[in-house]
Structure 1
Amino acid sequence: MFGRLRATMQRLFTPPATVLIRWGVSPDAVTITGTVLVTVIALTLLPTGHLALGAVLIGLFALTDSLDGVMARLSGRTGPWGAFLDSTLDRVSDGAVFAGITLWFVLHPDEPWALAGATAAIACLVLGSVVPYARARAESVGATAAVGIAERTDRLVVALLPTALVPAGLPVPVLVVVLGLLAVASLVTVAQRVATVRRQLVTSEA
C-alpha cells in the first residue's frame, strides 16, 4: 500500500545518508538507534497518555526506517547481516508500539471499551509478529510468502493514525474498532501466507 511512499522516502534520504556516511556513521548504528528511540517513546509516552506526541514521533522514525538501507547501498555494505539486524529489530519496535497502546488501555480502565481495546492491541502485537515469521520460515524451507493485506508499514500507519487523533476528540471506541480490524487483517495475512506456502510445497513434491 505504501510502496510508492517508501520509494519516495528513499530518494529523500539519499543526501542525509551521504552526510552520515561521510561522518563515519554506520548503517547498523542508525538501525539500532532508531529501534531504541521508538521503543523508549512507545513505552513511555503512549502508556502515560501522550498519545498524539508519541504517535507522531514514532511515525517520523518509522518513515526514516529506510535511511539505514540507503546508507548500506551507498556505502556498499548491503548483505545478509544488515537485513537480519533490521528485520529483527523491527520486531522489537513494532512490539513496543502495540505494547504501549495496550498499556494505555490497561492504565486507563475508565476509557470506553478499555478491555476490548487492550485485547485488540495484544492481538495486533501477537499476530503482527507471526506475519513476518511466516515469511521468514517460508524462505527457510525454499518457498516464498510475500503476500498479504497487512504489511509492516500498513499496520503501523493504521494503528498510529487513530491513536494520534484520540486526544483531538476521536472516540476511543473508533480506535478499538480499528485495532480489531487490524488484528483480523493480520490474521488473514497469516492465513494467506500459510496457504501460499502449502500450495508451493505440495506442488514441488508432486
Structure 2
Amino acid sequence: MAKIFRVSARAGITRVIEPVARRLLGVGISPNAVTVAGTVGVLIGAIGFGARGYLLTGLVIVTVSALTDMLDGTMARLRGGTSTFGAFLDSSMDRIADGAIFGAVAYWLAVSGDRPGAVAALICLVAGGIVSYVKARAEGLGMTCNVGIAERTERLILVGTGGLLSGVGVSWGLPAALWLLAVLSVVTIWQRVAHVHRQSVELAQGVDA
C-alpha cells in the first residue's frame, strides 16, 4: 500500500516538476548541478537551522531541497537518460543529505538534554547507511534488493513528521518518530539481508543442479 501511494504521489509531482525541468534544461542547467544544489540546500536547512533548534524553518528548507531529487531525475529523463556518473553522484549526494539530516537532529536533541532521542537519531543514522549499503552491495554482486519497510522516502517522511510535531510544540513528536524509525530501519536491514540470502541459496542450488 505504501509503495502504491508513493508511486501515485510521485506521478502527480512529476507532472508539476516536468515544466520546471524543461525550463532549466533550456537555460543550460545540468541535472548534476541541480543534484548538488539540492544537497547544499539540505545541508543549509539541516545544519544551519535544524541543528540550532529552528525545526520548522529547517524542515521547510530540507523539504524544498529534497524535491530536487525528483527534479534532477526528470531532467535526466528529458535529456535521454541518466548517465553512469549522474547515478553515482545522485546516490552519493543522498548519503550526504541523509547524514546531515540525522546528524543535525542527533546534535539538537543532545544539546537539548534529550539523550534517548539523540541515541535514536544515531541509530537511524547508522541503520539508514546500512540499509543503503546492503542494497548497493547486493546489486554489485548481481542480485536484487529492492525490499524493505523503511526505504529512504519513508525515513524522510517519518523524521519530517516528527520534526513538524516538535516544531509546533509536541515535544515528544520527534523522539517518538525517531524510535519508530530506528525499529523499522533495523527490520529493513533484516528484510534485505534475508532477501539476499534467499537469492544466494537459489543461485547455489542452481549451480549444483
**TM-score interval (norm. to shorter):** over 0.9
After superposition, residues 77-156 of structure 1 pair within 5 angstroms as 77-109=81-113, 114-156=114-156
TM-score using structure 2 length: 0.92
Give the aligned residue type for 2:177.
V
Query: Post-superposition, which runs of at least 4 consecutive aligned residues in structure 1 deviate over 4 A?
Result: none
* Residue number in structure 2 paired with 1:67: 71
Q: CA deviation at 1:77?
A: 4.4
Q: Is the 8 A contact 1:9 1:64 kept in 2?
A: no
Correspondence for 1:38: 42
**2 CA distance for matches of 1:29 and 1:64?**
10
In structure 2, list runs of 5 or more residues that go unmatched: none
Report if aligned partners of 1:56, 1:164 keep a CA contact under 8 Å in 2.
no
1:75 and 1:53 mapped to 2: Cα distance?
34
Shift of 1:29: 0.2
Amino acid across the alignment from 1:153:
T
Structure 2: how far apart are the matches of 1:184 and 1:37?
28
Partner of 1:55: 59
- The offset of 1:53, in angstroms, is 0.9
Q: Please tell me whether the aligned partners of residues 36 and 93 of structure 2 are also in contact (alpha carbons under 8 angstroms).
A: yes
Query: 1:180 maps to what in 2?
Result: 179
Report the Cα offset of residue 7 of structure 1.
2.0
SS of the residue aligned with 1:46? Answer: helix
Q: Is the 8 A contact 2:38 2:69 kept in 1?
A: yes
Provide Cα deviations, 1:67-107, integer angstroms capped at 9, x if missing partner: 00100111124222211110111010011000111111122
Paired residues of 2:106 and 2:118 also in contact (CA < 8 A): yes
Question: What RMSD, in angstroms, separates the aligned Cα atoms of the two structures?
Answer: 1.1
Q: What percent identity do the matched residue pairs reach?
A: 45
What are the Cα deviations for residues 16-36 of structure 1, in whole angstroms up to 9, with x where unaligned? 100000100000000001001
3-state SS of 2:13 partner: helix
Distance 1:174 1:23 in 2: 43
Greater Cα shift, 19-28 or 44-53: 44-53
SS in 2 for 1:45: helix
**Quick one: distance in 1 between partners of 2:119 and 2:97?**
19
- What is the CA-CA distance between 1:139 and the residue it aligns to? 0.6
User: Conserved in 2, the CA contact under 8 Å of 1:59 and 1:157?
Assistant: no
- Residue 205 of structure 1 is matched in structure 2 by 204
Unaligned residue ranges in structure 1 (runs of 5+): none
Tell me the distance in 1 between the aligned counterparts of 2:138 and 2:167: 41
Instruction: Flag the structure with more relative contact order, 1 or 2, with Cα contacts below 8 A and sequence separation at least 6.
Output: 1
SS at match of 1:47: helix
Q: 1:23 maps to what in 2?
A: 27
Shift of 1:141: 1.0
TM-score, scaled relative to structure 1: 0.94
Pairwise CA distance, 1:161: 1.5
